[in-house]
Chain A
């Protein structure tokens, strides 16, 4: 019967139902999306594993007509990674990767649709120069992890097996032996973040759903009173009310499914952190979907029952059962304290002490956040009761809040929880970001890219090619290697750097330098081997071998008599280099293979795409060796993205809540139109009324945001301590999140102004 009422309530009834359904629908869509995430991760893992080139097993594959030689040719274009491999079949039955019909011949390649598009566009001009293979086909979706993935397989030519460095391998099938899921457990801190993100984003959604079910609640109560008048008893009215809520929730489920399907299609066009997903990945696991389908209507009914608990619906109107009892503090404090207690044992765990207890983390965070919703009504009541006199607008607003602080608090709860969670997460991300980026200490003013010269390429020719490359200011070239005291299984290791005097001065302070000099760096940090090697005074061996591995160069080298001393200095890689410095003519010819050429490139970053120009040069030298890029915060981009994403997500949740705030605000105003007109009639300034509406929202929201900031910072601090990351409050994010909250309030007030002004017209006074 209630269901029928929900649908036949006239225009207004439809409006209310629609509002509830859209609200619930948005929440449901978000829940379904979340429910689909495990499936997405699984599918991506499966597909990634199915085309793995390297299996890291000890199984020796011997050459046959069913093998091929494969080399990883993954490269970076602009900021994106372009996956790729060179494949050279050794027989007619060579394996073919998933999604590819036929292996590309030498000089040919097959590409993913996204890469094809990129190569065909102006954007991809430089990449075309790098991948100079003829495109002979596309890789089918089954061979791709996501629709936006950039991937190519090119036909190899003259690849030589290189098991030592795993650059070129021989395989008889694609795909990893194991299923790939067990190999890299998620970084515990990352897992912590993922858990917290889920809890933080889903809690406000749940609160929003609860609020959406209550849309138009007061009107509904009055309508139910009318039903009582025509003879329905109080149990029937309750049943009708639940029926109505159920109707809204079920319709909301349908809407949610619709939103989800639309979102799923849109998902194909979205790429986040170089991750894109096929729509068919987004299949919520059946169990979770069923849980949503059952939990949402159940929650709707529950919320309605709870809301009606304090309301007696009498035939001639709604009676709220007397003045509600004063809110007690103790059990409200219990929730957040309980949350802290659950998190406390994990403090100092860090990333190295194994995983966090997922249940404790989830429970603790959840309790802390729900603690906000429990504390807020109490805080609003206590604070508002103590707020004293002020202007008329202030008085009007405060008195109203005193009369119904619960309603106000309920409206703000969602905002407070979202903001608290977002602040905590931002703190965690900012802390973690600092942690990760500390790894790179490279001095970016001296060099921005590094290139390891392949063994078969003469150093000078590589230097020449890079020097000619547009945007390269300076090429600092060394040959680097190691020296030990024994031919095999050395105990002492020291580094050897070969270069001309100018280059050597980049890594150490030299008293003087001529070609033919050899220096020992004295007193570099973490280097005591050099001094010991000098003391030994016997022939040393460059590039000594290790037992169990193929024999390496083992070039004997005697320290010259006139060994000079050098003082350490920070080298371009940001460390104090120790070991020996050798000018080119001082290196015996037989020792040349023992060292590897390393080029440090200083770039003119103002040249567009300078990095890709360098990469193209490198690809010309050897397509399998890519220069590495130094950036002070290689990960910061990624973290920046996560933070932006979080900010956007939290803002969306806030907007959603703002919409529900606006709805209840408008409803409240409509109920008071006569009063507003009367107030205007006896000369109340419109400004006074507007300000009172503003205060009425701003006071609870202000309180909510304050509480949210406190809880958020607490939670953030705890999470950082758990991750063993130094605690620092990210005031920017606190400010920005509370700022968004405040903006929502302003927006709601602003949007309710036109109706307010309309309602203040004298038409509202008409009684006829």
Chain B
């Protein structure tokens, strides 16, 4: 999953300090793995370098840097592109997909579109596997089935999430 895109997305709702960013990230996505400050600053400096964010202002006063970041138009476009691109149907995608969905909700984008797009991508993969399975030998079939079942599990999760989008939106935008 992309921390950069996630932080960018968080900035879309308004300029934030680095510290705020970390707190928001931890609260919404970091459940069991809080972000390191270092990770935030290195990511932000990369984004700054690529022109996706700009420094909105620096607060004087003790502590580490108190820079306030704001997203640029290029940054918004980048988030949009990332959200619209389905992830490669691989196992253990949930965290990325979840992040995408929450971000879409936070930024008032259509989250179910993300899910539909992702399902389509999954199905494309599953068709290929099904086809291979049909034509292959037993070993192929078993291997394909393994993949198929994992993809199916992902999809089920997708459906479940899609069905609960309203509830999720309520929670994340609170």
A–B contact at 8 Å CB threshold (below) = no
